[in-house]
Structure 1
Amino acid sequence: MPVVLTRLSVFASPLALVLAWLLLARFGGFPAQLLVPPQEVYQAFVELLQSGELREHLANSLSRLALGFCAGALGGLLFGIAMALSETVEAYCGPLFHVLRQIPSIALIPMFILFFGVEETFKVVVVAKASFFPVALAASDGVKGIPRRYFEVAEVYRLPLPSLVRDVALPAAAPPIVTGLRIALSRAWMVLVAAELLAADSGLGQMIEMSRQMMRIDIVMVGVVLTGLVGFTLDHGFRLLERRLLRWRDTP
Protein backbone atom coordinates (compact mmCIF):
# COMPACT_ATOMS: atom_id res chain seq x y z
CA MET A 1 0.00 0.00 0.00
CA PRO A 2 1.40 3.46 -0.87
CA VAL A 3 2.66 5.56 2.01
CA VAL A 4 0.09 8.30 1.35
CA LEU A 5 -2.82 5.83 1.52
CA THR A 6 -1.39 4.29 4.68
CA ARG A 7 -1.29 7.67 6.39
CA LEU A 8 -4.78 8.58 5.19
CA SER A 9 -6.17 5.29 6.49
CA VAL A 10 -5.52 6.54 10.03
CA PHE A 11 -8.42 8.97 9.61
CA ALA A 12 -10.80 6.40 8.13
CA SER A 13 -12.24 5.01 11.35
CA PRO A 14 -12.63 8.40 13.12
CA LEU A 15 -14.41 9.85 10.07
CA ALA A 16 -16.66 6.78 9.88
CA LEU A 17 -17.51 7.17 13.56
CA VAL A 18 -18.35 10.86 13.16
CA LEU A 19 -20.50 10.07 10.12
CA ALA A 20 -22.39 7.34 11.99
CA TRP A 21 -22.83 9.74 14.92
CA LEU A 22 -24.21 12.43 12.60
CA LEU A 23 -26.65 10.03 10.93
CA LEU A 24 -27.88 8.62 14.24
CA ALA A 25 -28.38 12.10 15.68
CA ARG A 26 -30.38 13.17 12.63
CA PHE A 27 -32.33 10.04 11.66
CA GLY A 28 -31.98 7.68 14.61
CA GLY A 29 -34.98 8.97 16.53
CA PHE A 30 -33.00 9.73 19.69
CA PRO A 31 -33.97 12.80 21.77
CA ALA A 32 -31.80 15.80 20.93
CA GLN A 33 -30.86 16.29 24.57
CA LEU A 34 -29.44 12.76 24.77
CA LEU A 35 -27.66 12.36 21.44
CA VAL A 36 -26.23 15.77 20.58
CA PRO A 37 -25.15 16.26 16.94
CA PRO A 38 -21.42 16.66 16.29
CA GLN A 39 -21.76 20.27 15.16
CA GLU A 40 -23.28 21.28 18.51
CA VAL A 41 -20.48 19.49 20.35
CA TYR A 42 -17.95 21.38 18.25
CA GLN A 43 -19.73 24.66 19.03
CA ALA A 44 -19.58 23.88 22.76
CA PHE A 45 -15.88 23.08 22.38
CA VAL A 46 -15.23 26.47 20.76
CA GLU A 47 -17.17 28.29 23.48
CA LEU A 48 -15.27 26.51 26.26
CA LEU A 49 -12.00 27.25 24.52
CA GLN A 50 -12.76 30.92 24.08
CA SER A 51 -13.88 31.35 27.69
CA GLY A 52 -10.68 29.73 28.97
CA GLU A 53 -12.63 27.21 31.05
CA LEU A 54 -11.43 24.24 29.01
CA ARG A 55 -7.78 25.25 29.26
CA GLU A 56 -8.09 25.58 33.03
CA HIS A 57 -9.66 22.14 33.44
CA LEU A 58 -7.13 20.52 31.12
CA ALA A 59 -4.18 22.22 32.80
CA ASN A 60 -5.33 21.07 36.24
CA SER A 61 -5.76 17.48 35.06
CA LEU A 62 -2.38 17.37 33.31
CA SER A 63 -0.56 18.89 36.29
CA ARG A 64 -2.02 16.22 38.59
CA LEU A 65 -1.08 13.55 36.08
CA ALA A 66 2.50 14.79 35.77
CA LEU A 67 3.07 15.01 39.53
CA GLY A 68 1.45 11.69 40.40
CA PHE A 69 2.99 9.82 37.48
CA CYS A 70 6.52 11.03 38.22
CA ALA A 71 6.24 10.09 41.89
CA GLY A 72 4.64 6.70 41.23
CA ALA A 73 6.87 5.76 38.31
CA LEU A 74 10.07 6.68 40.15
CA GLY A 75 9.01 4.77 43.24
CA GLY A 76 7.96 1.80 41.13
CA LEU A 77 11.25 1.81 39.23
CA LEU A 78 13.35 1.80 42.40
CA PHE A 79 11.20 -0.81 44.12
CA GLY A 80 11.10 -3.09 41.09
CA ILE A 81 14.88 -3.03 40.72
CA ALA A 82 15.33 -3.66 44.45
CA MET A 83 12.92 -6.59 44.30
CA ALA A 84 14.82 -8.09 41.36
CA LEU A 85 18.31 -7.65 42.81
CA SER A 86 17.59 -8.53 46.44
CA GLU A 87 16.19 -11.88 47.49
CA THR A 88 15.38 -10.38 50.88
CA VAL A 89 13.18 -7.66 49.39
CA GLU A 90 11.54 -10.24 47.14
CA ALA A 91 10.85 -12.58 50.06
CA TYR A 92 9.43 -9.97 52.42
CA CYS A 93 7.71 -7.57 50.01
CA GLY A 94 6.94 -9.72 46.95
CA PRO A 95 3.77 -11.46 48.20
CA LEU A 96 2.20 -8.23 49.47
CA PHE A 97 3.18 -6.43 46.27
CA HIS A 98 1.48 -9.02 44.08
CA VAL A 99 -1.66 -8.89 46.21
CA LEU A 100 -1.91 -5.10 46.19
CA ARG A 101 -1.30 -4.78 42.46
CA GLN A 102 -4.45 -6.83 41.83
CA ILE A 103 -6.63 -4.22 43.54
CA PRO A 104 -8.06 -1.74 41.00
CA SER A 105 -7.08 1.83 41.72
CA ILE A 106 -10.71 2.92 41.39
CA ALA A 107 -11.69 0.57 44.21
CA LEU A 108 -9.33 2.45 46.55
CA ILE A 109 -10.74 5.89 45.78
CA PRO A 110 -13.24 5.91 48.73
CA MET A 111 -10.44 4.92 51.13
CA PHE A 112 -8.11 7.58 49.72
CA ILE A 113 -10.84 10.20 50.13
CA LEU A 114 -11.20 9.24 53.81
CA PHE A 115 -7.43 9.51 54.36
CA PHE A 116 -6.56 12.54 52.22
CA GLY A 117 -9.85 14.36 51.70
CA VAL A 118 -10.93 15.60 48.28
CA GLU A 119 -8.12 18.11 47.73
CA GLU A 120 -5.15 17.77 45.38
CA THR A 121 -3.31 15.20 47.49
CA PHE A 122 -6.04 12.63 46.90
CA LYS A 123 -5.83 12.90 43.10
CA VAL A 124 -2.02 12.79 43.08
CA VAL A 125 -1.96 9.71 45.33
CA VAL A 126 -4.47 7.90 43.11
CA VAL A 127 -2.34 8.62 40.03
CA ALA A 128 0.83 7.57 41.86
CA LYS A 129 -0.75 4.27 42.89
CA ALA A 130 -1.90 3.58 39.33
CA SER A 131 1.62 4.31 38.04
CA PHE A 132 3.61 2.50 40.71
CA PHE A 133 2.61 -1.11 40.14
CA PRO A 134 2.97 -1.43 36.33
CA VAL A 135 6.40 0.21 36.45
CA ALA A 136 7.54 -1.86 39.43
CA LEU A 137 6.41 -5.09 37.79
CA ALA A 138 8.05 -4.18 34.47
CA ALA A 139 11.30 -3.18 36.18
CA SER A 140 11.38 -6.34 38.30
CA ASP A 141 10.69 -8.67 35.37
CA GLY A 142 13.07 -6.76 33.11
CA VAL A 143 16.01 -6.95 35.53
CA LYS A 144 15.28 -10.61 36.29
CA GLY A 145 15.42 -11.30 32.57
CA ILE A 146 18.96 -9.93 32.20
CA PRO A 147 21.45 -12.73 31.37
CA ARG A 148 23.40 -13.85 34.42
CA ARG A 149 26.74 -13.26 32.71
CA TYR A 150 26.14 -9.50 32.84
CA PHE A 151 26.16 -9.60 36.63
CA GLU A 152 29.11 -11.97 36.68
CA VAL A 153 31.17 -9.46 34.72
CA ALA A 154 30.01 -6.72 37.12
CA GLU A 155 31.18 -8.87 40.06
CA VAL A 156 34.59 -9.33 38.43
CA TYR A 157 34.98 -5.55 38.17
CA ARG A 158 33.49 -5.12 41.66
CA LEU A 159 31.00 -2.52 40.56
CA PRO A 160 29.28 -0.74 43.47
CA LEU A 161 25.50 -0.97 43.63
CA PRO A 162 24.81 2.48 42.10
CA SER A 163 27.06 1.68 39.14
CA LEU A 164 25.52 -1.78 38.81
CA VAL A 165 22.04 -0.26 38.56
CA ARG A 166 23.03 2.65 36.32
CA ASP A 167 25.44 0.89 33.97
CA VAL A 168 24.10 -2.68 33.86
CA ALA A 169 20.54 -3.12 35.10
CA LEU A 170 18.85 -0.07 33.60
CA PRO A 171 20.33 -0.27 30.07
CA ALA A 172 19.79 -4.03 29.78
CA ALA A 173 16.21 -3.87 31.09
CA ALA A 174 15.29 -0.67 29.26
CA PRO A 175 12.79 -2.16 26.74
CA PRO A 176 10.38 -3.70 29.28
CA ILE A 177 10.79 -0.74 31.63
CA VAL A 178 9.84 1.76 28.92
CA THR A 179 6.86 -0.40 27.97
CA GLY A 180 5.82 -0.46 31.62
CA LEU A 181 6.08 3.31 31.80
CA ARG A 182 3.84 3.68 28.75
CA ILE A 183 1.22 1.33 30.19
CA ALA A 184 1.40 3.10 33.55
CA LEU A 185 0.85 6.50 31.94
CA SER A 186 -2.29 5.32 30.14
CA ARG A 187 -3.69 3.74 33.30
CA ALA A 188 -2.87 6.80 35.37
CA TRP A 189 -4.75 9.07 32.96
CA MET A 190 -7.87 6.89 33.03
CA VAL A 191 -7.82 6.62 36.82
CA LEU A 192 -7.33 10.36 37.20
CA VAL A 193 -10.39 11.20 35.10
CA ALA A 194 -12.42 8.67 37.08
CA ALA A 195 -11.25 10.23 40.36
CA GLU A 196 -12.17 13.70 39.11
CA LEU A 197 -15.63 12.41 38.22
CA LEU A 198 -16.16 11.38 41.85
CA ALA A 199 -14.49 14.17 43.84
CA ALA A 200 -12.88 17.27 42.36
CA ASP A 201 -13.51 20.97 41.90
CA SER A 202 -11.68 21.16 38.56
CA GLY A 203 -10.32 18.93 35.81
CA LEU A 204 -11.84 17.18 32.82
CA GLY A 205 -13.63 14.61 34.96
CA GLN A 206 -15.23 17.32 37.08
CA MET A 207 -16.28 19.20 33.95
CA ILE A 208 -17.97 16.05 32.62
CA GLU A 209 -19.78 15.37 35.91
CA MET A 210 -21.01 18.93 36.40
CA SER A 211 -22.22 19.08 32.80
CA ARG A 212 -24.08 15.79 33.29
CA GLN A 213 -25.87 17.19 36.32
CA MET A 214 -26.85 20.27 34.29
CA MET A 215 -27.90 18.09 31.31
CA ARG A 216 -25.32 19.78 29.09
CA ILE A 217 -24.64 16.66 27.07
CA ASP A 218 -22.75 18.68 24.47
CA ILE A 219 -20.13 19.62 27.08
CA VAL A 220 -20.12 16.04 28.38
CA MET A 221 -19.25 14.87 24.87
CA VAL A 222 -16.53 17.51 24.62
CA GLY A 223 -14.98 16.12 27.81
CA VAL A 224 -15.31 12.50 26.66
CA VAL A 225 -13.78 13.15 23.24
CA LEU A 226 -11.00 15.27 24.71
CA THR A 227 -10.22 12.60 27.30
CA GLY A 228 -9.76 10.07 24.53
CA LEU A 229 -7.64 12.43 22.43
CA VAL A 230 -5.37 13.31 25.35
CA GLY A 231 -4.94 9.65 26.21
CA PHE A 232 -4.13 8.81 22.59
CA THR A 233 -1.66 11.69 22.36
CA LEU A 234 0.14 10.65 25.55
CA ASP A 235 0.37 7.03 24.43
CA HIS A 236 1.47 7.90 20.88
CA GLY A 237 4.03 10.39 22.17
CA PHE A 238 5.45 7.77 24.50
CA ARG A 239 5.64 5.29 21.62
CA LEU A 240 7.67 7.80 19.61
CA LEU A 241 9.92 8.40 22.61
CA GLU A 242 10.29 4.65 23.10
CA ARG A 243 11.25 4.21 19.45
CA ARG A 244 13.81 6.98 19.72
CA LEU A 245 15.36 5.83 22.99
CA LEU A 246 15.52 2.19 21.94
CA ARG A 247 16.51 2.66 18.31
CA TRP A 248 19.74 0.77 19.08
CA ARG A 249 17.69 -2.46 19.08
CA ASP A 250 17.11 -2.12 15.33
CA THR A 251 20.77 -1.67 14.46
CA PRO A 252 22.42 -4.83 13.09
Structure 2
Amino acid sequence: MTLTTSANRPVEQRLTNPSGVLADVAYAMTLPLVLLLAWEFSARLGWLPEQILPAPKVVWATIVELWRDGSLIDHTFVSLRRVAVGFTIGALSGLLAGALLGLLPGIRAFVWPIFTAVAQVNTLAWVPLLVLFVGIDEELKYVCIAWSTAIPVILATTRGIADVSPNLVELGRVFDFTPVQRISAIVLPAALPSLFTGLREGLAAAWQSLVIVELFASFEGLGYLMTWGRQLFQMELVIAAMLVIAVIGLSLNAILEYMEGFVQPWKTEALHGR
Protein backbone atom coordinates (compact mmCIF):
# COMPACT_ATOMS: atom_id res chain seq x y z
CA MET A 1 0.00 0.00 0.00
CA THR A 2 1.51 3.33 -1.12
CA LEU A 3 1.05 6.50 0.90
CA THR A 4 0.13 9.37 -1.44
CA THR A 5 1.09 12.84 -0.27
CA SER A 6 1.83 16.19 -1.93
CA ALA A 7 5.43 15.11 -2.45
CA ASN A 8 4.44 12.58 -5.13
CA ARG A 9 1.30 14.22 -6.49
CA PRO A 10 1.33 16.27 -9.71
CA VAL A 11 1.09 20.05 -9.33
CA GLU A 12 -2.04 20.24 -11.48
CA GLN A 13 -3.75 17.57 -9.40
CA ARG A 14 -2.97 19.46 -6.21
CA LEU A 15 -4.40 22.70 -7.61
CA THR A 16 -7.63 21.09 -8.91
CA ASN A 17 -8.33 18.99 -5.83
CA PRO A 18 -9.10 21.29 -2.85
CA SER A 19 -9.82 18.41 -0.49
CA GLY A 20 -6.47 16.89 -1.36
CA VAL A 21 -4.71 20.18 -0.70
CA LEU A 22 -6.38 20.47 2.70
CA ALA A 23 -5.44 16.90 3.54
CA ASP A 24 -1.83 17.55 2.56
CA VAL A 25 -1.71 20.74 4.64
CA ALA A 26 -3.19 18.96 7.66
CA TYR A 27 -0.72 16.11 7.26
CA ALA A 28 2.26 18.48 6.94
CA MET A 29 1.18 20.58 9.93
CA THR A 30 0.86 17.65 12.32
CA LEU A 31 4.48 17.55 13.47
CA PRO A 32 4.86 21.37 13.78
CA LEU A 33 1.71 21.50 15.91
CA VAL A 34 2.99 18.70 18.14
CA LEU A 35 6.30 20.53 18.59
CA LEU A 36 4.46 23.80 19.31
CA LEU A 37 2.33 22.10 21.97
CA ALA A 38 5.43 20.54 23.53
CA TRP A 39 7.11 23.97 23.53
CA GLU A 40 4.07 25.60 25.20
CA PHE A 41 3.79 22.72 27.68
CA SER A 42 7.45 22.94 28.71
CA ALA A 43 7.22 26.76 29.04
CA ARG A 44 4.15 26.54 31.29
CA LEU A 45 5.78 23.94 33.52
CA GLY A 46 9.01 25.92 33.70
CA TRP A 47 11.22 23.06 32.59
CA LEU A 48 13.65 25.62 31.18
CA PRO A 49 14.18 29.24 32.32
CA GLU A 50 12.54 31.95 30.20
CA GLN A 51 15.99 33.32 29.39
CA ILE A 52 16.73 30.03 27.58
CA LEU A 53 13.32 29.09 26.15
CA PRO A 54 10.70 31.87 26.17
CA ALA A 55 7.06 30.89 25.75
CA PRO A 56 5.54 30.86 22.22
CA LYS A 57 3.32 33.83 23.06
CA VAL A 58 6.40 35.88 24.00
CA VAL A 59 8.06 35.05 20.67
CA TRP A 60 4.85 35.88 18.79
CA ALA A 61 4.55 39.20 20.61
CA THR A 62 8.15 39.98 19.65
CA ILE A 63 7.43 39.22 15.97
CA VAL A 64 4.34 41.46 16.05
CA GLU A 65 6.27 44.27 17.71
CA LEU A 66 9.13 44.04 15.22
CA TRP A 67 6.63 44.03 12.36
CA ARG A 68 4.80 47.09 13.65
CA ASP A 69 7.90 49.20 14.09
CA GLY A 70 9.17 48.15 10.66
CA SER A 71 12.47 46.70 11.84
CA LEU A 72 11.53 43.12 10.91
CA ILE A 73 10.67 44.19 7.36
CA ASP A 74 13.92 46.16 7.05
CA HIS A 75 16.13 43.32 8.33
CA THR A 76 14.29 40.75 6.20
CA PHE A 77 14.61 42.88 3.06
CA VAL A 78 18.36 43.29 3.59
CA SER A 79 18.83 39.53 4.06
CA LEU A 80 16.65 38.72 1.04
CA ARG A 81 18.68 41.10 -1.13
CA ARG A 82 21.93 39.49 -0.04
CA VAL A 83 20.62 35.97 -0.66
CA ALA A 84 19.14 36.94 -4.03
CA VAL A 85 22.42 38.40 -5.30
CA GLY A 86 24.66 35.71 -3.82
CA PHE A 87 22.42 32.81 -4.82
CA THR A 88 22.05 34.08 -8.39
CA ILE A 89 25.80 34.43 -8.83
CA GLY A 90 26.53 31.09 -7.15
CA ALA A 91 23.79 29.18 -9.00
CA LEU A 92 24.73 30.48 -12.46
CA SER A 93 28.46 29.93 -11.95
CA GLY A 94 27.79 26.53 -10.38
CA LEU A 95 25.60 25.38 -13.27
CA LEU A 96 28.20 26.53 -15.80
CA ALA A 97 31.14 24.93 -13.97
CA GLY A 98 29.18 21.73 -13.29
CA ALA A 99 28.17 21.48 -16.95
CA LEU A 100 31.78 21.84 -18.08
CA LEU A 101 32.99 19.23 -15.59
CA GLY A 102 30.18 16.86 -16.48
CA LEU A 103 30.61 17.15 -20.25
CA LEU A 104 34.42 17.11 -20.31
CA PRO A 105 35.77 14.00 -18.53
CA GLY A 106 39.38 15.03 -19.09
CA ILE A 107 38.94 18.33 -17.23
CA ARG A 108 36.85 16.59 -14.56
CA ALA A 109 39.59 14.05 -13.85
CA PHE A 110 42.12 16.87 -13.52
CA VAL A 111 40.01 19.23 -11.35
CA TRP A 112 37.72 16.93 -9.35
CA PRO A 113 40.16 15.85 -6.55
CA ILE A 114 41.05 19.46 -5.71
CA PHE A 115 37.47 20.63 -5.93
CA THR A 116 36.26 17.79 -3.69
CA ALA A 117 38.88 18.71 -1.09
CA VAL A 118 37.90 22.39 -1.19
CA ALA A 119 34.21 21.48 -0.87
CA GLN A 120 34.87 19.76 2.47
CA VAL A 121 35.89 23.05 4.10
CA ASN A 122 33.03 24.99 5.66
CA THR A 123 32.38 28.52 4.42
CA LEU A 124 33.13 29.92 7.87
CA ALA A 125 36.72 28.70 7.57
CA TRP A 126 37.21 30.76 4.41
CA VAL A 127 35.89 34.02 5.88
CA PRO A 128 39.21 35.28 7.38
CA LEU A 129 40.96 34.66 4.06
CA LEU A 130 38.19 36.24 2.01
CA VAL A 131 38.28 39.35 4.22
CA LEU A 132 41.84 39.97 3.02
CA PHE A 133 40.73 40.01 -0.62
CA VAL A 134 37.23 41.58 -0.60
CA GLY A 135 37.10 43.44 2.71
CA ILE A 136 34.33 43.27 5.28
CA ASP A 137 31.55 45.14 3.46
CA GLU A 138 28.69 43.80 1.32
CA GLU A 139 31.07 42.15 -1.13
CA LEU A 140 32.13 39.68 1.57
CA LYS A 141 28.53 38.61 2.12
CA TYR A 142 27.86 38.19 -1.59
CA VAL A 143 31.02 36.15 -2.10
CA CYS A 144 30.35 33.88 0.89
CA ILE A 145 26.75 33.23 -0.15
CA ALA A 146 27.76 32.64 -3.78
CA TRP A 147 30.54 30.29 -2.68
CA SER A 148 28.21 28.28 -0.44
CA THR A 149 25.62 28.08 -3.21
CA ALA A 150 28.02 27.08 -5.96
CA ILE A 151 29.51 24.06 -4.16
CA PRO A 152 26.37 21.85 -4.01
CA VAL A 153 25.22 23.10 -7.44
CA ILE A 154 28.54 22.09 -9.02
CA LEU A 155 28.51 18.70 -7.28
CA ALA A 156 24.94 17.87 -8.30
CA THR A 157 25.25 19.21 -11.85
CA THR A 158 28.49 17.37 -12.52
CA ARG A 159 27.17 14.07 -11.21
CA GLY A 160 23.83 14.48 -12.95
CA ILE A 161 25.46 15.03 -16.35
CA ALA A 162 28.23 12.49 -15.88
CA ASP A 163 25.74 9.79 -14.83
CA VAL A 164 23.58 10.10 -17.95
CA SER A 165 23.30 6.64 -19.48
CA PRO A 166 25.84 6.09 -22.28
CA ASN A 167 23.11 4.21 -24.15
CA LEU A 168 21.07 7.42 -24.38
CA VAL A 169 24.08 9.34 -25.67
CA GLU A 170 24.77 6.61 -28.20
CA LEU A 171 21.15 6.78 -29.32
CA GLY A 172 21.69 10.43 -30.14
CA ARG A 173 24.69 9.53 -32.27
CA VAL A 174 22.62 6.89 -34.08
CA PHE A 175 20.04 9.53 -34.96
CA ASP A 176 22.89 11.78 -36.10
CA PHE A 177 22.21 14.49 -33.48
CA THR A 178 24.61 17.39 -33.33
CA PRO A 179 26.43 17.92 -29.99
CA VAL A 180 24.05 20.76 -29.15
CA GLN A 181 21.04 18.55 -29.91
CA ARG A 182 22.43 15.71 -27.79
CA ILE A 183 22.88 18.07 -24.86
CA SER A 184 19.47 19.77 -25.18
CA ALA A 185 17.40 16.68 -26.05
CA ILE A 186 19.17 13.92 -24.09
CA VAL A 187 21.68 15.09 -21.48
CA LEU A 188 19.80 18.06 -20.03
CA PRO A 189 16.42 16.31 -19.54
CA ALA A 190 18.14 13.32 -17.93
CA ALA A 191 20.19 15.55 -15.59
CA LEU A 192 17.37 17.96 -14.60
CA PRO A 193 16.43 16.17 -11.35
CA SER A 194 20.03 16.39 -10.14
CA LEU A 195 20.25 20.03 -11.23
CA PHE A 196 17.21 21.01 -9.18
CA THR A 197 18.46 18.98 -6.22
CA GLY A 198 21.67 20.99 -6.36
CA LEU A 199 19.74 24.26 -6.60
CA ARG A 200 17.63 23.41 -3.55
CA GLU A 201 20.71 22.40 -1.58
CA GLY A 202 22.44 25.57 -2.77
CA LEU A 203 19.52 27.68 -1.58
CA ALA A 204 19.65 26.08 1.86
CA ALA A 205 23.42 26.64 1.97
CA ALA A 206 22.91 30.27 0.93
CA TRP A 207 20.65 30.95 3.93
CA GLN A 208 23.04 29.17 6.28
CA SER A 209 26.04 31.16 5.07
CA LEU A 210 23.98 34.37 5.22
CA VAL A 211 23.43 33.87 8.93
CA ILE A 212 27.14 33.13 9.40
CA VAL A 213 28.37 36.28 7.63
CA GLU A 214 25.73 38.47 9.26
CA LEU A 215 26.80 37.13 12.63
CA PHE A 216 30.39 37.89 11.71
CA ALA A 217 30.24 41.28 10.03
CA SER A 218 26.95 43.13 9.74
CA PHE A 219 24.79 45.72 11.43
CA GLU A 220 21.57 44.74 9.66
CA GLY A 221 19.82 41.60 8.50
CA LEU A 222 18.21 38.62 10.21
CA GLY A 223 21.57 37.19 11.23
CA TYR A 224 22.46 40.46 12.91
CA LEU A 225 19.07 40.42 14.65
CA MET A 226 19.97 37.02 16.09
CA THR A 227 23.34 38.35 17.27
CA TRP A 228 21.71 41.40 18.85
CA GLY A 229 19.21 39.21 20.68
CA ARG A 230 21.95 36.93 21.97
CA GLN A 231 23.99 39.87 23.23
CA LEU A 232 20.95 41.25 25.06
CA PHE A 233 20.06 37.78 26.40
CA GLN A 234 16.70 38.10 24.62
CA MET A 235 16.15 34.63 23.21
CA GLU A 236 12.74 35.65 21.88
CA LEU A 237 14.57 37.87 19.37
CA VAL A 238 16.82 34.98 18.34
CA ILE A 239 13.93 32.55 17.94
CA ALA A 240 11.82 35.13 16.07
CA ALA A 241 14.61 35.65 13.52
CA MET A 242 15.10 31.89 13.21
CA LEU A 243 11.40 31.38 12.49
CA VAL A 244 11.39 34.08 9.81
CA ILE A 245 14.43 32.50 8.14
CA ALA A 246 12.77 29.07 8.26
CA VAL A 247 9.50 30.30 6.76
CA ILE A 248 11.25 32.18 3.94
CA GLY A 249 13.53 29.23 3.20
CA LEU A 250 10.57 26.84 3.11
CA SER A 251 8.67 29.16 0.76
CA LEU A 252 11.61 29.53 -1.63
CA ASN A 253 12.17 25.77 -1.63
CA ALA A 254 8.49 25.29 -2.52
CA ILE A 255 8.91 27.70 -5.44
CA LEU A 256 11.88 25.70 -6.72
CA GLU A 257 9.88 22.50 -6.35
CA TYR A 258 7.05 24.02 -8.41
CA MET A 259 9.51 25.17 -11.08
CA GLU A 260 11.00 21.67 -11.21
CA GLY A 261 7.58 20.19 -11.92
CA PHE A 262 6.86 22.89 -14.50
CA VAL A 263 10.02 22.26 -16.55
CA GLN A 264 9.64 18.47 -16.37
CA PRO A 265 6.26 17.80 -18.01
CA TRP A 266 7.19 14.17 -18.65
CA LYS A 267 7.51 13.65 -14.91
CA THR A 268 4.04 15.13 -14.32
CA GLU A 269 2.56 12.91 -17.04
CA ALA A 270 4.15 9.83 -15.47
CA LEU A 271 2.64 10.71 -12.11
CA HIS A 272 -0.78 11.19 -13.76
CA GLY A 273 -0.48 7.70 -15.17
CA ARG A 274 -0.11 6.10 -11.74
| Fold match by TM threshold 0.5 | yes
Instruction: Confirm or deny that 1:234 pairs with 2:252.
Output: yes
1:210-249 pair list within 5 angstroms: 210-249=228-267
In 2, Cα distance between equivalents of 1:134 and 1:25: 39
What is the letter of the counterpart of residue 125 of structure 1? V
Kindly indicate whether residue 127 of structure 2 is the aligned counterpart of residue 138 of structure 1.
Answer: no
1:172: Cα distance to partner? 2.8
Aligned to 2:130: 112
Structure 2: distance between partners of 1:9 and 1:96? 44
Residue 60 of structure 1 corresponds to: 78
Question: Conserved in 1, the CA contact under 8 Å of 2:82 and 2:142?
Answer: yes
Structure 2 Cα separation of the partners of residues 22 and 172 of structure 1: 47
What CA deviation, in whole Å up to 9, does each residue of 1:173-214 have, x standing for no partner?
A: 111111111111111111211221122121100011012112
What letter is aligned with 1:237? I
* SS of equivalent to 1:201: coil
C-alpha separation between the residues in 1 aligned to 2:24 and 2:77? 33
Counting matched residue pairs gives 251
Matched, 1:159 2:178: yes
Among 111, 122, 126, which residue is 1:93 paired with? 111
228-237 vs 179-188, which deviates more? 228-237
Secondary structure of 1:118's aligned partner: coil
Identify which of 4, 7, 11 aligns with 2:29.
11
The answer to whether residue 220 in structure 2 is matched with residue 206 in structure 1 is: no
Which digits, 9 at most, give the CA deviation of each residue in 1:226-246, with x for residues without a partner? Answer: 122222222222222222222
Shift of 1:167: 4.4
- Partners of 1:9 and 1:251 in 2: how far apart? 25
Query: Tell me, which stretches of 5 or more residues in structure 1 are unaligned?
Result: none
- Partner in structure 2 of residue 33 of structure 1: 51
What SS does the corresponding residue of 1:200 show, helix, strand or coil? coil
Q: Aligned equivalents of 1:205 and 1:185: distance in 2?
A: 16
Is 2:144 aligned against 1:126?
Answer: yes
Q: Which amino acid aligns with 2:29?
A: F
Residue aligning to 1:186? 204
| Distance (whole Å) between structure 1 residues aligned to residue 126 and residue 64 of structure 2 | 36
TM-score normalised by length of structure 2: 0.82
In structure 1, distance between residues paired with 2:256 and 2:246: 15
Relative to 1, partners in 2 of residues 1:150 and 1:10: Cα closer, same or farther, differing over 3 Å?
A: closer
TM-score, with length taken from structure 1: 0.89
SS in 1 for 2:49: coil
Q: Which residue of the partner structure matches residue 77 of structure 1?
A: 95
Contact preservation (8 Å) 1:186, 1:234: no
1:15 Cα deviation from its structure 2 partner: 1.8
Separation in 2, partners of 1:74, 1:56 = 27
Cα 1:163/1:40, change in 2 over 3 Å: same
1:159 maps to amino acid:
T
Q: Which of 165-174 and 70-79 deviates more?
A: 165-174
Shift of 1:165: 4.0
